[in-house]
Structure 1
Amino acid sequence: MSSKTDTSTLSFEESLKQMTKLVEKLESGELPLEESVAAFEQGVKLSRRCESLLDKAEQRLQVLGNSEDES
């Protein structure tokens, strides 16, 4: 997995699955330094993607909650 992989179209579940695989590889200690750095960079991108998707979901839930309060 390249650090140049576009994460902007991944779902939350896909991002989380890829991040889990990266963590497993990093924890194994078998990756060379350069690959470890690239995996870490990709993990940061995936983490940011997950955070963004969670923020959007939270905003949607707040809007729904607010609309129910007005009823």
Structure 2
Amino acid sequence: MPRIRLAHWHHGQAPGAETDVDDEELAALTRDGRVAGIVEVTTDTSPGDTATDGSDTPAPEPTPEAESEPTAKSRRRR
């Protein structure tokens, strides 16, 4: 669970307070601009776990079909 420093009031905690939040709550608070900074990111997986979060694998390559489609040109004059 990430530990963050708040930029605004959240659940009765004043700005500047440090609190632990889950990943979904971190995403929502960051989206709303309520996070002043991330203090620490901890993982809940133990060294024996084989679960991965996908960060080790590279992003998939785009398929040739998606690249071959021409883009439609606008007929509107600029």
Query: Which TM-score bucket, shorter chain as reference?
Result: 0.3 to 0.5
Q: TM-score, normalised by structure 1?
A: 0.33
Q: Which has the higher contact order (CA 8 A, sep 6+)?
A: 1
Which structure dedicates a bigger proportion of its chain to strand?
2
